[in-house]
Amino acid sequence: MKIRKAKNMYTFDSRIRYSEIDRSGRLSIPAVVDYFQDCSAFQSEELGVGVEYLANKKRAWILNSWQIVLERRPEECEKITVGTWGSGFDKFHATRNFIMKTTQGERLAYANSIWVYINTETGMPARPTKEEIDVYKLEAPLEMEYEPRKIKLSREWEEKEPVKVQRSWIDSNDHVNNSWYVKTAFEQLPQDLEIRQLRVEYKKQAYEGDILYPRYAREEQRILVALCDENKNHMQ
């Protein structure tokens, strides 16, 4: 697959830290999520539509879904470039693509994401203004095999031990940060599992003190983890 250079792609350079690697000595998958999430935040801040701007308008971009493809996870001290660009708006939704590569140009990971713009006072979707859309100077979507936003659930689940949401999981929107759902789900997976594609669908927000009830299912071609509330309603 050929990945072209997006004219309006925002990028930043980094180096893989020891605190970001897992037992294999490679960048952990939750850390990949963090890099992509941070990249989008950096771009919004530089464009003047970041956290403070949104807070003043009682608005927020809430992540709805991820599709992340992993080609190679970099090792400690490798230098990388992370990039993102907006690829579409539709009423209350926006799509973003991401790429991670080495400074020599080797592609390491790429992703698609869907976000929902909400009114933080009502919790309901809100339409972004034309100015809030135009500031991102949209590019064509990344050429990749796009999976459906909704993940087909398993019919049979193995129940796992409940997990309490900790204070350190909460972000500036006052609910669990996107990456903590992924980190919690990863604790339910077998050790040394080699993952090539990660899909995440967020359905409900969790808050400090909430109890998450993980469920696990293994099928022929995939492994699923669901994080549920006490009524078995899926949150992620």
Same-domain pairing of 81 and 105: yes
Of the candidates 91, 90, 219, the one whose C-alpha atom is nearest the C-alpha of residue 155 is: 219
- Are 163 and 137 in a shared domain? no
**What pLDDT shows up at residue 66?**
96
Cα–Cα distances in angstroms (integers) from residue 216 to residues 3, 189, 219, in the given order: 34, 8, 10
Q: Do residues 82 and 163 both lie within one domain?
A: no
**pLDDT tens profile 34-71:** 999 999 999 999 999 999 999 999 999 999 999 999 99
Same domain (yes/no): 87, 194:
no
Across 118-145, average pLDDT: 94
| Predicted pLDDT of residue 173 | 83
Residue 5: pLDDT above 90?
A: no
Please tell me whether residues 104 and 168 are part of one structural domain: no
Sign, CA dihedral 225-82-168-117, equals negative
Is there a single domain that holds both residue 61 and residue 142? yes
Do 36 and 82 contact (CB within 8 A), yes or no? Answer: yes
pLDDT of 1 higher than 60: no
Both 111 and 186 in one domain: the answer is no
Decide which of 89, 122, 146 is a domain's last residue.
146
Where does a domain end: 146, 163, 190? 146
4 pLDDT above the threshold of 80: no
Angle at 69 (CA atoms; ends 156, 236), nearest 5 degrees? 40
Q: Which of 146, 181, 208 is the last residue in one of the domains?
A: 146
Same domain, yes or no: 36 and 117: yes
Residues 129 and 176 in one domain: no
User: How far is the C-alpha of 15 from the C-alpha of 79, rounded, in Å?
Assistant: 4
Of residues 103 and 231, more confidently modeled: 103
The CATH number of the domain holding residue 63 is 3.10.129.10
Domain ranges, residue 3: 1-146
Give the count of domains, the chain.
2
Give me the pLDDT at residue 236, please.
64
Give bridge partners of residue 87 from the DSSP assignment.
Answer: none
Whether 72 and 10 have beta carbons less than 8 Å apart is answered as: no
Instruction: For residues 205 and 232, state if they share a domain.
Output: yes
Q: What is the pLDDT of residues 150-191, one digit of tens each?
A: 999 998 999 999 999 999 999 888 889 999 999 999 999 998
Tell whether 59 and 8 lie within a shared domain.
Answer: yes
pLDDT at 126: 96
Determine the pLDDT at residue 14.
98
How far apart are the C-alpha atoms of 85 and 26, rounded to whole Å? Answer: 26
Helices (H), the chain: 29-46, 51-56, 130-134, 178-186
Residues 104 and 160 in one domain: no
pLDDT at 226 over 70: yes
pLDDT at 3 over 60: no
